[in-house]
Structure 1
């Protein structure tokens, strides 16, 4: 869902607790780079790439991931996204959220 020019609330679907749920990472971008706020659940990287493609944004355009907190539905794809991008993505997370979660960042 378009929030404004360069701001899109993404819609990822997942199955949890025997029900379908919707997760809403947010993308902020311009012509050169993109920032992803939260990443969805583990295993949703392909779904995220498909949605980015619909917006004509490649995963290589992601320059920053901002993790709002360490719940799995917010951090789940962060490591996989970094592995699949051609560049180093800077990941920002609150230092109090357990550094062991972000050891690869």
Structure 2
């Protein structure tokens, strides 16, 4: 079950020759909304009506927490920052790719990238943030990206897995074709399997009624396939 104060979104984008639906998350706090991931360029036009449906405004977003730097998560960040003054949070290992010091990991060296944005707070893992849904703990889940993080709400056994897990076509692990370090990503699935989870929200595919047992099955299956 999704906790009160946590709001998964569903945003649709044209992506090449197909439509891409992504699922950022809005978390209520005493200091405004935390938006977990932004989306592709053009995200502001999609975020505004989605927030309005929840009774919020774009200006209520005080913080953006990036789970990682991929363009479908961070591509719309610069336009959001222009529209409202947001505080940007990302893992330290993601910062060089977000702020433009380095080219995104999955992009060719000379490819056009999304506009860089400075990061205001660098995470190192295990930070805990106060929210209206209780503590929100940062869990390091690298592999899909160098500093990929997931977010865990222990009071509700609720996990925001970002791209460490997927629910596009069944509840599965990270997509190998988009995961540069699959071995590390599998170990990150193991890290998530050690949590007491009842419900998992994925950036791709949305919320799954799947918890610790299902995550552990994925981990064991992926581990065996690598042997």
Deviations 1:56-92 (A, max 9, x none): 111111111000111101001111111111xx31101
Q: Which residue is equivalent to 2:42?
A: 43
Q: Is the 8 A contact 2:8 2:24 kept in 1?
A: yes
Larger CA deviation: 54-63 vs 26-35: 26-35
Aligned positions of 1:1-105 closer than 5 A: 3-30=2-29, 33-85=32-84, 88-99=85-96, 101-102=98-99, 104-105=117-118
Q: Which has the higher strand share?
A: 1
Give distance in 1, aligned partners of 2:73 and 2:26.
13
Q: Is the 8 A contact 1:32 1:61 kept in 2?
A: no
TM-score (norm 1): 0.85
How far residue 17 of structure 1 moved from its aligned partner, in angstroms, is 3.6
Can you give the 5+ residue segments of structure 2 that lack an aligned partner in the other structure? 100-115, 119-227
Larger Rg: 2
Q: Number of residue pairs matched?
A: 102
Deviations 1:19-70 (A, max 9, x none): 2121000000157510000001111211111100111111111111000111
